[in-house]
Amino acid sequence: MTSTLDAPVSAAATRPLPKRRRQRNGPLIALLLGPSVVLITLFIVLPAVYSIYLSLTNTQLTGFAARDPQFVGLDNFAYLLTNGDFLNSLGQTATFTFFSAIIGQTVLGMVAAILLSRPWLRGKGLFGAAVLMPMIVPEVVASLAWASVLSNNSEGTLNRLTGLFGADPTDWLQVVPLTSIIIVNIWRGVAFAMIMFQAALEDVPAELIEAARIDGASALQVFRHVTLPLIRGPVFLYLLLTTISTVGVFGLVYFLTQGGPGGQTRIAAIYIYERALQFSQIGIGSAASIILLVIVLILGIVYVRLAKVEV
């Protein structure tokens, strides 16, 4: 038997309002929504449309070319999709997103949420606060803290730890730059995953778990066949949000490595920044942003499709 588990929708909520009432509330609704609509139009819709326009031109920010930008059609897109540096940056973005967000944050966030839902766990407040801390800390402070941890001299926290075992100081951001920023991003994002999964786990009916236990299911089987299908929606919602935010990560990576060494951590956001602002090629930078936007949109659609729960 197949049934779809959707939240019950009350008839009252879907019943249309009477015409007179709608007319009476019209100005108030317009007044309340108006500022949001104006702000969204001004700061999201128009820049996005302008960015699409720029991506079709050879606009530069400096030099004589800046005075007379030309329409170049899809040339910027053709250039980027055959440009090794850009394709590398997409590859690095995919690696960074997959390991830090999809694997790292999601798995560790789930583990943390499950641990916090255990009645036998002592010191939940302390544990929860420790996990939440990275999310509260401003990005610059987090970057500074990790720059200190990963510092290449013997005073770096990690080098002090490895030094206890007789190891020489290592320049972690040189030797394993991508792994380093993946770990930093996992650390930063695990709290949000934990909060979302904790809320989802609380909605799982205890009777279902107990029934499965009585039927002889192990803890892993309960999680795999009962809990996970029931929280599939929130899990995919989290994956969607974390993918979008991780693809756009800039400050953390820029502060720690600036895309180096040798372009090993030049993720797409760094590439776009370099092209658009450092090298003043705003047309190419905009085209790269549009490509990234399309990729994220495709991923979003995939997640939304996968999130439809059928048992």
Interface ranges with other proteins (CB under 8 A): 24, 27-28, 31, 60-67, 152, 171, 173-174, 256-263, 277-281
* Alpha-carbon span 115 to 113, nearest angstrom: 5
Strand partners, 57: 71
CA nearest neighbour of 272 among 51, 41, 46:
51
41 vs 278 by CB, closer to other proteins:
278
Residue partners of 237: CB distance under 8 A and separation at least 6: 196, 303, 307
Burial class (CB in 10 A: 0-12, 13-18, 19+), 253: buried
Smallest distance, Å, CB 52 to other proteins? Answer: 18
* Alpha-carbon span 281 to 289, nearest angstrom: 12
Smallest distance, Å, CB 262 to other proteins? Answer: 4
Tokens of 275: 């092209």
Q: Residue 144: helix, strand or coil by DSSP?
A: helix
81 vs 228 by CB, closer to other proteins:
81
Smallest distance, Å, CB 54 to other proteins? Answer: 12
Smallest distance, Å, CB 20 to other proteins? Answer: 11
Smallest distance, Å, CB 188 to other proteins? Answer: 19
66 vs 211 by CB, closer to other proteins:
66
Sign of CA dihedral 54, 46, 140, 197: negative
95 vs 174 by CB, closer to other proteins:
174
CA nearest neighbour of 77 among 294, 290, 266, 282:
290
Smallest distance, Å, CB 170 to other proteins? Answer: 11
- 221 touches 277 (CB < 8 A): no
98 vs 279 by CB, closer to other proteins:
279
79 vs 98 by CB, closer to other proteins:
79
**Position of tokens 């770096």?**
156
* Alpha-carbon span 112 to 194, nearest angstrom: 6
Smallest distance, Å, CB 36 to other proteins? Answer: 14
Phi-psi region of 106 (alpha: psi -120 to 50; beta: other; left: phi over 0): alpha
63 vs 123 by CB, closer to other proteins:
63
